[in-house]
Chain A
């Protein structure tokens, strides 16, 4: 509990100091959130949702709350992570680096959350904290308590914004382990359209902790494409919550790729709140060494006539461990729900491990829900098939593993991003 007390103390200093100028509603939100975190404490493996994932390594590390970095990396350093010339926000240790960013203020608003709280507080107030509930989620509570900076994206009604918007979160080493709590709010109003790429990368193999929350709202008839790429340092901790809230007849394509961090946990929830909604969750985790990644997804069919498709593939090598929990909730009255879930895990080593748990909670009778999960090594029949065509064993294994990952990457619409990720997968296979 020492860790919890320390964080509460840090919060008091934060609330009294830098955050004291915030509007009353925000101060209330933060105070409520830290109180909730204090009550919940860190999760333990005795709790169902954390059965396979211990956060002891986080509680045992002493983290300092990140502050705006004194040195901002040069543009050349971040170029390899950028996807062309589209608008972007770049964050260094959780704070907006304005000199590397290209905010938009006309029509579509793309800016740091801290700045938007000053410029358009009412717009933020309307949405912030409305979707990422923290009553039973300690890390979301902690993020909400320390809410300060992050990305704010607002696409007004009937605006079609074609270029992908990139949100790049850089971890820059400072000597001591830092914690940052990026908070992102992406609002795509009715009949509007946008795609957003949220990338977490490290410029150094340091120990730090990212505790992120992203709230996404798709208004009635809107379409939002969200891409999330986690490439943290192999020694880092990454805990994240993504909540996608969808209106009537909206489309959300949500992609999540996890390559980095010693310990990663991503809670991804999509809520189909209006009839006719369509949701895709498409995820890949590719782990090596002693990496541990836990994806807890939930699709909440709260309205009738919605469709959801979920595809998560795990590629697990060495002693890594992948956890997948896929919850599908069909609320009473959500008739004609069509929901499909698959989770396939490829074990490339004897010491790799995967846990896959579907969790269906269906309270309506006229629905179609299917799920399937697999855990296992490369299929020997497929291996022989490739060998019988002249492809050697090493290359055949590589090809099959690549295909397993590509299956997920091929569903992504942004070609430069797909190529970037494809390159990472290929580089890993060449090792």
Chain B
């Protein structure tokens, strides 16, 4: 589903990603771990099309399409979703209005009829029920005055409603207490599906205690320095990142 080859990315003249190779198959859950500043968030944002980053070399293919040639909204309509580390406030627009606009943009792209507010409400209620949440966030302006936990929950709710094929989770566990972490992780587990892939970017192990990945990668200094199964995550928990970083320097 996602094929990244030799990806190099700079921001404001500084190279952050220095040749990433990554292959994610349909239905797989990949975790990308690494120390602060290793380029994990950059990778997630570049895949979503953030305009601040410049791709200097390499390619990213999504379902056979050149992902990097698409505008951010086109990627979203094709089924790429980024759960933000820092979700943004949209003042004066309620969550439900925002979500309906997003759903309709995707539907329009697929040649489906747009949903009116009543139809949308039904879709929304079904989604909320599926992940076991209520609608308390829906009539508040997008992310405005939300607690850290509410913001992250709101990202996962959008994921549920927009039904992406490739979901990128950028530090979704940051700022969450243990209860909120479990709530979010449970919802993500319910959203795992054979036709949906996840790339979960996280500094810590704790989210991965609840969401078991198929593959774990370690990103350091802009490169993937090690890949393995779920057991790699536990090894990292025990040993930290430094042993891998040194290894990367040597190789």
- Considering the chains assembled together, what is the distance between the CA atoms of A395 and B105 in angstroms? 10
Report the separation of the CA atoms of residues A400 and B77 in the bound assembly, to the nearest whole angstrom: 20
- Indicate if the CB atoms of A404 and B48 lie closer than 8 Å: no
Tell me the minimal C-beta distance from B91 to chain A in angstroms.
Answer: 5
Q: Is the CB of B106 within 8 A of A382?
A: no
Q: Is A306 an interface residue (CB 8 A)?
A: no
Chain B nearest CB from A411 CB (Å) reads 10
Contact across chains for B49 and A403 when beta carbons are under 8 A apart: no
Separation of A385 and B71 alpha carbons in the complex (Å): 13
Give the interface segment out of B32-40, B81-89, B117-125, B210-218.
B81-89
Bound complex: CA A380 to CA B87 (Å): 13
Min C-beta distance of A412 to chain B, whole Å: 13
Q: How far is the CA of A407 from the CA of B140 in the complex (A)?
A: 11
Q: How many Å from the CB of A100 to the closest CB on chain B? A: 35
**Is residue B234 within 8 Å, beta carbon to beta carbon, of the partner chain?**
no
A387, B88: Cβ atoms under 8 Å?
no
The CA of A381 and the CA of B50, in the complex, are separated in Å by 9
A373 contacts partner chain B, Cβ-Cβ < 8 Å: no
The answer on a CB contact under 8 Å between A403 and B93 is yes
Partner among B48, B72, B90 whose Cβ is within 8 Å of the Cβ of A400: B90
Given contact pairs A384-B51, A387-B49, A388-B82, A403 touches B90 in the complex (Cβ within 8 A): yes
Q: Identify the closest chain B residue to A406 (Cβ).
A: B92
Interface string of A364-395 (1 = CB under 8 A from B): 00000000000000011110111111111101
Q: Which of A386, A387, A388, A393 contacts B90 (CB 8 A)?
A: A386
Nearest CB of B to A194, in Å: 28
Encoded as 1 (CB less than 8 Å from any B CB) or 0, chain A from 83 to 96 comes to 00000000000000
Chain B nearest CB, measured from A177 CB (Å): 38
Give the distance in Å from the alpha carbon of A402 to the alpha carbon of B89 in the complex: 14
Q: B101 within 8 Å of A by Cβ?
A: yes
CB pair A387 B92 closer than 8 Å:
no
B50 touches A389 (CB 8 A): no
Nearest chain B CB to A374's CB is how many angstroms away?
Answer: 11
Asked whether, in the complex, the Cβ of A381 is within 8 Å of the Cβ of B73, the reply is: no
What is the distance, in angstroms, from B183's C-beta to the closest C-beta of chain A? 22
CA distance A62 to B102 in the complex (A): 53
Residue of A387, A389, A403 touching B91 (CB-CB under 8 A): A403
Report chain B residues within 8 Å CB of A379: 88
Q: Write out the residue numbers on chain A whose beta carbons fall within 8 Å of the beta carbon of B102.
A: 386, 389-391
Please measure, in the bound complex, the distance between the C-alpha atom of A407 and the C-alpha atom of B142, giving whole angstroms.
12
Residues in chain A near residue B90, CB distance under 8 A: 382, 385-386, 399-400, 403
B162 adjacent to chain A (CB < 8 Å) = yes
Complex contacts, B51 vs chain A, CB 8 Å: 380, 384
The count of chain A contact residues (Cβ–Cβ below 8 Å) is 25
Query: Are A382's CB and B89's CB within 8 A?
Result: yes
Tally the A-B contacts, defined by beta carbons under 8 Å: 82
Interface residues of B in 136-169 (CB under 8 A from A): 141, 158, 162
Chain B residues within an 8 Å CB radius of A393: 71, 73
Task: Tell whether B20 is near chain A: CB-to-CB under 8 Å.
Answer: no
Q: Are B105 and A402 in contact (CB under 8 A)?
A: no
Q: B76 an interface residue at 8 Å Cβ cutoff?
A: yes
CA distance A177 to B94 in the complex (A): 44
Q: Is A229 an interface residue (CB 8 A)?
A: no
Chain A residues, CB < 8 A from B72: 384, 387-388
Which A residues are CB-close (under 8 A) to B91? 403-404, 407
Query: Contacts of B65 on A, CB cut-off 8 Å?
Result: none
Q: Is the CB of B109 closer than 8 A to any CB of chain A? A: yes
Chain B contacts of A212 at CB under 8 A? none
Asked if A405 is at the interface of the complex by the 8 Å CB criterion, the answer is yes
Q: How far is the CB of A407 from chain B (nearest CB, A)?
A: 4
CB of A45 within 8 Å of the partner chain: no
> Which residues of the partner chain B approach A406 to less than 8 Å between Cβ atoms?
92-93
Closest to B103 in A: A390
Complex Cα spacing A96 to B208, Å = 73
- Measured in the bound complex, the distance between the Cα atoms of B24 and A76 in whole Å is 65
Within 8 A of A (CB), among B186-235: none
Is A410 an interface residue when CB atoms closer than 8 A count as contact? yes
Contacts of B81 in A (CB 8 A): 388
Question: Known contacts A388-B76, A395-B101: does B49 contact A382 (CB below 8 Å)?
Answer: no
Least CB distance from B197 to A in Å reads 17
Cβ–Cβ contact B73 & A407, under 8 A: no
Which chain A residues border B109 with CB–CB below 8 Å?
A: 390
Q: Is the CB of B105 within 8 A of A390?
A: yes
Closest-CB distance, B216 to chain A (whole angstroms)? 25
Provide the residues of chain A in CB contact with B50, threshold 8 Å: 384
Q: Which of B32-62 contact A (CB under 8 A)?
A: 48-51
On whether the beta carbons of B87 and A387 are closer than 8 Å, the reply is: no
A407 to B89 CA separation, bound complex (whole angstroms): 13
Contact in complex: A387, B89 (CB < 8 Å): no
Chain B residue nearest to A380 in the complex (CB) = B51
Bound-state CA distance A400–B91 (Å) is: 7
Which residues 102-116 of B sit at the A interface, judged by CB distance below 8 A? 102, 105-106, 109
Chain A residues within an 8 Å CB radius of B49: 384, 387-388
Contact across chains for B141 and A391 when beta carbons are under 8 A apart: no
Bound CA–CA A414/B82 (angstroms): 39
| A405 and B84 contact, Cβ closer than 8 Å, known pairs A384-B72, A388-B48, A391-B73 | no
Tell me whether B88 and A403 are in contact (CB under 8 A).
Answer: no
Kindly provide the distance from the CB of B72 to the nearest chain A CB, expressed in whole angstroms: 4
Q: A386-B102, A390-B109, A403-B93 are in contact. List 12 more A-B contacts (CB 8 A).
A: A384-B50, A384-B88, A385-B88, A386-B90, A389-B98, A389-B101, A389-B102, A390-B76, A390-B162, A391-B76, A399-B93, A402-B93
Chain A: residues with CB nearer than 8 A to chain B? Answer: 379-382, 384-393, 395-396, 399-400, 402-407, 410
Interface set of B (CB-CB < 8 Å, partner A): 48-51, 71-73, 75-77, 81-82, 84, 87-93, 98, 101-102, 105-106, 109, 141, 158, 162
Mind listing 9 A-B residue pairs with CB under 8 Å?
A: A384-B49, A384-B88, A386-B98, A387-B72, A389-B98, A390-B77, A392-B73, A402-B92, A403-B92
List the 6 closest pairs (A to B, CB-CB), nearest first: A403-B92, A407-B92, A390-B76, A403-B93, A389-B102, A390-B105
